[in-house]
Amino acid sequence: MATATTGGTVARNYAEALLALAQKAGDASGWGALLGQLAGAIDVDTTLQRYLASPKIRGANKAAMLTRALTDRVPAPFVRWLQALVKNRRQALIPAIAAEYEQLLDAVEGRVHARVTVARETDAADATMIAQQLSKAMGKTVVPTLTVNPAILGGVIVRIGDTVMDGSVRRKLAMLRSRMTA
């Protein structure tokens, strides 16, 4: 039985191979969207999940079904990549491969994701301004995911990977309080 690390490594290898094919075709983002849609379909369609996971159905039959379903909708190299995936009995990794692909694409395109906590709901203009300011500070395109937490009182808390930048009013008040009591 494969460990999570081995599955992650295998998924990353398949994602790297697909990204190389997509870059050669000049449509890395488009292929990522296709892979994401396929992973989403597998996540929500239990019949498709069971079909792809079934050891009773030959890999050739699974590959043929995917080929029939996708040939007119996706590029031929994408279909061949899927066929190789099924031939190697790795179709269960499609959702993990999609996640790895997205991470690789983000790295290639210089994009990072940030969790941004604000004190109150923000409008689209404020969200855009936050994204622009973070992108400027990081030197990369930052894609923020905003959450609201009134307990921070004001300001923002930004988490990018393991890095936390706390510019909340609550933190500033706590620092002021500790200085005053010291």
Q: Over the stretch 115-142, which tens digit does the pLDDT of each residue have? A: 999 999 999 999 999 999 999 988 999 9
Per-residue confidence (pLDDT) for residue 7, from 0 to 100: 62
The yes-or-no verdict on residue 62 having pLDDT over 70 is yes
- Helices (H), ranges, the chain: 4-25, 28-44, 46-53, 59-70, 76-87, 94-108, 124-138, 169-181
pLDDT: is 2 or 87 the higher one?
87
CATH for 4-107?
1.10.520.20
Domain extent listing, the chain: 4-107, 110-181
Q: Are strands 156-160 and 163-166 parallel, antiparallel or unpaired?
A: antiparallel
- 6 pLDDT band, cuts 50/70/90, is low
pLDDT at 72: 86
Classify the C-alpha dihedral 138-139-144-148 as positive or negative.
positive
pTM greater than 0.95: no
